[in-house]
Structures are given as structure tokens and as C-alpha cells.
Amino acid sequence: MCKAEHIKTFLRGIGAIAVSEAKLRFTSDGLKVSAVDPANVAMIHATIDRTAMDVYSAPEEELVVGIDVARLYEMAKGFKDKEPVELIVEDSRIKLKNKNLTYSVALIDPNAIRKEPKLPEMDLPMKVVLGIDSFKQAVQAANKISDHVILRCDGDKFYIEAKGYVDAIKTIFDDTELIEFVKAEAKTMFSIEYLLEFCKAGNKLDIIDIRLGTDYPGFFSFRDSAVELLYVLAPRIENV
Amino acid sequence: MCKAEHIKTFLRGIGAIAVSEAKLRFTSDGLKVSAVDPANVAMIHATIDRTAMDVYSAPEEELVVGIDVARLYEMAKGFKDKEPVELIVEDSRIKLKNKNLTYSVALIDPNAIRKEPKLPEMDLPMKVVLGIDSFKQAVQAANKISDHVILRCDGDKFYIEAKGYVDAIKTIFDDTELIEFVKAEAKTMFSIEYLLEFCKAGNKLDIIDIRLGTDYPGFFSFRDSAVELLYVLAPRIENV
Amino acid sequence: MCKAEHIKTFLRGIGAIAVSEAKLRFTSDGLKVSAVDPANVAMIHATIDRTAMDVYSAPEEELVVGIDVARLYEMAKGFKDKEPVELIVEDSRIKLKNKNLTYSVALIDPNAIRKEPKLPEMDLPMKVVLGIDSFKQAVQAANKISDHVILRCDGDKFYIEAKGYVDAIKTIFDDTELIEFVKAEAKTMFSIEYLLEFCKAGNKLDIIDIRLGTDYPGFFSFRDSAVELLYVLAPRIENV
């Protein structure tokens, strides 16, 4: 049992990369979903932390069930953000339930669902932590003139920039504006469309933790104390 | 002369069942419209109570005029909710008027308008009174998985429920949540589309009073101290 | 350097009459644009007053550059209303810049841009000054039944009125509701579409100053202490 907003953010985060069916794991750490988007450009590792749940009776062995992400999200939206909601698995159905309202839907056979991805191990030297709003603003600005954006660190400052045919846009962050900043040279181009989807999904969370190399996939972890949406996004190749 | 919001709610309520032209009666009790929707599935009996009007000079004999409901509603929206508005009939025109703004439109010949329905007399044993928001929430939840909803009482609690192909939804109300509850076995299926239209129209009113039998038309009275929108809605036949 | 909202209102105001490219003048009085709409029905003379700018280093000679109005407006929207923004011309580019974000776009050759109109000299005897909201409300009311509106003064009151096939609408203003009122007989019909566009663009400004004759172009000056959007709108010929 946890607040409806956590369940909504969790499901919304998975849906952000167009994943329609997913394996939901009840682990000793909390609820977990790992999934890859249909285009194989992004993956998500989403978690609702066990500590965010008032009551959490996971079975001895880890339980894995198949869920229809969009359908369950649609139902979760019927509950108010601060309302406590129970998420129950019984009789091959998953239920969302508060005092008055019960919603139930048939589970999907987990074997019919695409294999869960592993988190890639990579050496990403640069790290910044900032407010989600600041990141979103910079990406939205870039979106006005291009459909891809360059995230870059010259070892001193962190840049989010884009170039159009006649115009250019650049947002600069230095130590004073970043919650955390591990400086290292890094530069990667990403699709703005994906980044904006992540931002929309992570909207109600607090911070974003970005890890970056050069032309490597980037790690974008949107989180607060209850929910983490960790996206790994493939780079786009720059035409030089 | 009464507040613009009463006139707006009254006209909006009639328009909710797609009635385009109606007979408006100036009676000793207030303003009244009775009309049937074009599909003959729902009827409305709408009233602005005389006590809600600061000045009300009804003629000796009851006055009946024909109005274009949508056109008059469109104009009423031009006034702010709390503004006092005069509704005047003169020179074959109906006028809405405040200090600055005057709107006038030609009346329609009442003989050209469809006959007004009578309120059916029926024995509907079950009655609940609840806040419009609670009712609306339950119907909206049902709307996510179906286009019809079952209202049901087992003699103890009141249920609003729907079933889809793989999912199901149920909202339960007991005495503690209902303003009034006359318990009796009852169960009827209705079109969600109509119920949601009623809820939208009655949005600014306070409570809804529902009377129900089994597979009988239901009475849905949305009201506050000034306006009543009483809808009678035909049942839908359940495929058993 | 001035507040982003001034730049936004200024550019939005020019865009309201579908001007896509304009000559921007850095004069000793402030920033100025004069332009005619493609249909030759309306012109605008827009100003950001020098006193609204914290720093303003105009060159000795008046500087004239060509700008892409819509593109620059789109970028200006990326800044928050109260944020101070620098507008810089250098290296054949125009830049919008705050502490973090820099946007730059290539200038357009001013010789490729349509000639700036002169403000017509006309004897318009009637003048009213009123709140933009009051004016907008009256025009919106008229819009419900017609696509043109008559502005009229009988030497005593000021009327905004429209007639449809079966309905009519009239808003009356007298001395008590007008900030300033120079009474004189005047009557002119205008396109509602243009007036509503002006109102939308001038939305954040304070007052509108209207000057009117009979079947002459009208002067509509939307302004506050920082920005003026002065529109001149051609009359529509009434079918009498």
C-alpha cells in the first residue's frame, strides 16, 4: 500500500518509452520493472522503493507478474495523488483498491513478455545532478530549433546546446547551479523527443542525475525518495 | 432577475440532452422547462426556483414562450456567474440584460416545438442522496472500461460498477458516505455517456438525488437551493 | 536589457497582424517596429520605451536590423516573464541572453523587408480610454453573433454593438466606466477577428486608448508604462 502518486509516476515512467506490456517484480527492495522501448533506443529501470510503502507483504520468493502498463496507468489515474492505494495480486488478477473503489484486471502471462534488459556496465566519467525543471527548460529551449541536442562538459562547465540552420541555442550550468558536478570531458548528442518524454514522466520527481561519456549511452535517473525512473538512452551520431 | 450562474446552469442542463428548442414557462413557482431528448432515451424537468429571483413579475396567466436553448446559453455565458441578470420577454423577443450588456433574440413559436413530456409515475423503492463529485468520480472510473454502468443496491450498500473484457471496476458507498440512503434491492444498467453529460451540466450544483428500481428508468435530480435539473433516464438492457 | 515580458509582448504584438519579417529600429526613444499586415487592413507601430530598459546602448546613428518576428518570439517565450533579458546585435546575428541561456539567430537584410508604413494623419474626434478586459469582453460578446462590430458614440455614451439575423447584442459604456472619454459623434464598423487578435496580443498591458471617426480607420493603442502596441485598423463598409 502506497500513495497513488507513486504508482502513477512509476507506470507513467514505463509508458514514456512506449512499453505496453511489462514484467512487474515484487522484490525485497520494492517494486521493479525493467524494459526496452520498441525501437531499442531507450531502456528503463523503474523502482518504487519498499520504504515508500506502508505495508508490503512480498512473498518469500520474488513474485513476477505480467501487466498491461497503459491500462493499469489509466486506472491509477482514477485515484487522487495523495490517496493511499493497495496494489494486490490474487486469482490471476492485479487490483488497485482504496476504501471505496476497486479496479481489477487480468494478468498477462510473463512468458509472453519481452525479456528484461540488463543495465549496461559502462565507464561514464561525467556526472551532474540538477533540478528536473532546469534540465527540462534547457531541453525545451533546444527543441525550438532542432530535434537533437548536445550535452557537453569541457571539464569546467556543463552545456546543453543545439544548432539550427540559421539559429543556435546554448544553456550553461556551472557549479553554483548544479547540486552535484563531477567534471570530466564528455560530449554526446541525444534525441530531444526521448528526453522530453522522460521529463514529462519524471515531472513530479525532484532531481535528475545524469552520467555521460563521449558518444556513449547516457544515464538519466529521475528520482525522489520513493520512486526512481532510470533511463538509459542511446547516443545519436553527429554528422561531422 | 437572478444570478447569471442560475440561468447558465438551467440552459446548460437542458442542452445536455441535445434539446435545441424548448418551451419556457413562467409559472408561479419559477421558470420551468420540460423536454425529451431527440433519441427518446432521457427527459429533463428543469426549474429555477422563484425564491432564487430578486424580482419576478410573472403575468397573471402562465406565460409560455419558445426559446433556442443553445443560442440563449451561448449568450448567458457572456455574463459572469455572480452577476445579476434580467431575463425579459417583450416584443416577441427574449432579452438577457445587465447594467452594460444587452442581448436579445427572436422568440420561436411555441406551437412549432415538440410537446412537453409528463413526469412518469413509477414506484422506485431505492433512494440515495450524495455529493455530485462522488457520483461523477464513480461514473468516470467506470467509463474507463465500459460504455455502460450498473447502479445496484443489495439492501445494504450502494454499488456503481462496470465490467470490461479483462477488467472490472467497482465503487462502494455505505451509510457513512451517503447523505441519505433508503435501502431496497434495486439494479439497473445505464448509458455512461448520458450520465456523464448530466454530471457535466449539474457540475455547479450541490447534490444528486437518485431513485432506482430494477430495470426501470432512473430519476437523477441534480440540485441546489436555486436550480433543479431532474433527468429521467431509460435503462439499458443487460445481455445475460 | 529589459524584462522578458516586454520583449514577448512587443514581438507578439507585431505577430498579431501576421507580419513575419520586420525592421527593428534601435532609436534614442527605445526599440521600434512599424509594419503593415499582408492584407493591408491593419498596421502596427510597436515600441519598447527606453525607460523600461536597465541598460540601453544605442549606437550614435539609429541602428536598423531585419528580424524574423515569429522565430524571435518563439525564443523569447523560453524566458520567464520577470527575467531580465539582454537583446544584443553583433556579427550579423541578434541574440537573446540571460545568465544561463543564449539564443542567437542570423539577421535578415533590411532591404529585403517591406517598407515601413507612416502613421496616417487623421482627424479622429472621439476618444475613449478603458481597461483592456472591458473592451475584450464587449468584442467577445459581439463575436457570438457576428464577424463584425460597430463602435459608436452618440455624443453621450460609447457603444459596442453587433446584429445577427435573429439576435442583437449591445454593450454600453458611460463616463463612470471609462478612464477618459472625449465625446463626439462617431460610428465605424470593424472586423472582430482583427480586434480579438489585438486584444490577445495586448492582454498583459493595462489600458486601451481608442480614437474614432465615422467610417475612418480607428486607432487602437494598447499600452502600459513600458510597451505600446498602436494598431491602425481599416473600417469595414456597412451594407445599408
Q: Are residues C175 and C141 in the same domain?
A: yes
C119 within domain boundaries: no
Domain tally, chain C:
2
Percent share of chain C, pLDDT over 70:
98
Question: Which tens digit of pLDDT belongs to each residue from A170-207?
Answer: 999 999 989 999 999 999 999 999 999 999 999 999 99
Report how far residue B194's alpha carbon sits from residue B39's, in angstroms, rounded to the nearest whole number: 11
C100/A171 Cβ within 8 A: yes
Residue that finishes a domain, picked among C77, C112, C147: C112
Predicted confidence at residue C165, as pLDDT, reads 86
Together in a domain, B106 and B186:
no
| Main-chain dihedrals φ then ψ at residue A13, nearest 5 degrees | -65, -40
C139 & C176 share domain: yes
Same domain for A173 and A96 = no
Domain membership flag for residue C130: yes
Owner of C-alpha cell 439492501: B155
Asked whether residue B53 falls in the same domain as residue B138, the answer is: no
C92, C39: one domain = yes
- Whether the pLDDT of residue A1 is over 80: the answer is no
- Write out pLDDT tens, residues C4-47: 999 999 999 999 998 899 999 999 899 999 999 999 999 999 99
pLDDT of residue B60: 72
Say how far apart CA C9 and CA C226 lie, in whole Å: 10
| Residue A236 within a domain | no
Kindly state whether residues C107 and C161 are assigned to the same domain.
no
- Contact call for B167 and A106, based on CB within 8 A: yes
On chain B, the residues whose CB falls within 8 A of the CB of A112 are none
Q: Do C101 and A170 touch (CB under 8 A)?
A: yes
Q: Does residue A48 share a domain with residue A25?
A: yes
CATH number reported for the structural domain that contains residue C94 in this entry: 3.70.10.10
Name the minimum distance, in Å, from the CA of A133 to any CA of chain C.
13
Last residue of a domain, one of C112, C144, C164: C112
Residue A230 domain-assigned (yes or no)? no
Q: What is the rounded (10 degree) CA torsion for B160, B165, B167, B173?
A: 10
Judge if C105 and C133 occupy the same domain.
no
Is B96 in the same domain as B143? Answer: no
Chains that touch C (3 or more CB pairs under 8 A): A, B
Across A218-225, average pLDDT: 96
Tens-of-pLDDT digits for all 240 residues of chain B? 788 999 999 999 999 998 899 999 999 899 999 999 999 999 999 999 999 988 887 667 788 999 999 999 999 998 999 989 999 998 899 999 998 899 999 999 999 999 999 999 989 999 999 999 999 999 999 999 999 999 999 989 999 999 988 899 999 999 998 999 999 999 999 999 999 999 999 999 999 999 999 999 999 999 999 999 999 999 998 665
Note the pLDDT tens digit of each residue in A10-66: 999 999 998 899 999 999 899 999 999 999 999 999 999 999 988 887 677 788 999
Is the confidence metric ipTM above 0.85 for this complex? no
Among the candidates C50, C78, C112, a domain finishes at: C112
C148-153/B84-90 β-pairing:
unpaired
For C58-88, the pLDDT digits (tens) are 677 788 999 999 999 999 998 999 999 999 9
pLDDT of residue B181: 96
- Spatial separation of the C-alpha atoms in residues C107 and C225, rounded to whole Å: 29
Is A117 within the bounds of a domain?
no
A98-141 pLDDT, tens digit each: 988 999 999 999 999 999 999 999 899 999 999 999 999 999 99
Q: Is the pLDDT of residue C222 over 70?
A: yes
pLDDT at A239 over 70: no
pLDDT confidence of residue C239: 63
Task: Report how far Cα B31 is from the mean position of its chain's Cα atoms.
Answer: 14
Average pLDDT of chain C, as a whole number: 93
Query: Which of C24, C97, C11 lies closest to C63 in space, CA to CA?
Result: C24
A135 and A199: one domain? yes
> Is C12 part of a structural domain of the chain?
yes
3-state SS string for chain C: CEEHHHHHHHHHHHHCCCCCEEEEEEECCEEEEEEECCCCCEEEEEEEEHHHCCCCCCCCCCEEEEEEHHHHHHHHCCCCCCCEEEEEEECCEEEEECCCEEEEEECECHHHCCCCCCCCCCCCCEEEEEEHHHHHHHHHHHHCCCCEEEEEECCCCEEEEEECCCEEEEEEECHHHCCEEECCCEEEEEEHHHHHHHHHHHCCCCEEEEEECECCCEEEEEECCCEEEEEEECCECCCC
Q: Give the confidence band of A238 by pLDDT, cuts at 50, 70, 90.
A: low
- pLDDT for res C196: 97
Provide the domain limits for residue C21: 2-112
- Identify which of C74, C101, C105 has the shortest CB distance to residue A171: C101
Give me the residue label for grid cell 529589459.
C2
Has residue A119 been placed in a domain? no
B140, A78: Cβ pair inside 8 Å? yes
Instruction: Reply yes or no on whether the pLDDT at C240 is more than 60.
Output: no
Domain co-membership, A72 together with A20: yes
By Cβ distance, the residue of B100, B101, B104 closest to C167 is B104
In a domain, A118, yes or no: no
- pLDDT band of C101, cuts 50, 70, 90: very high
Please report the number of interchain residue pairs, chain B to chain C, with beta-carbon separation below 8 angstroms: 38
At C238 the pLDDT is: 67
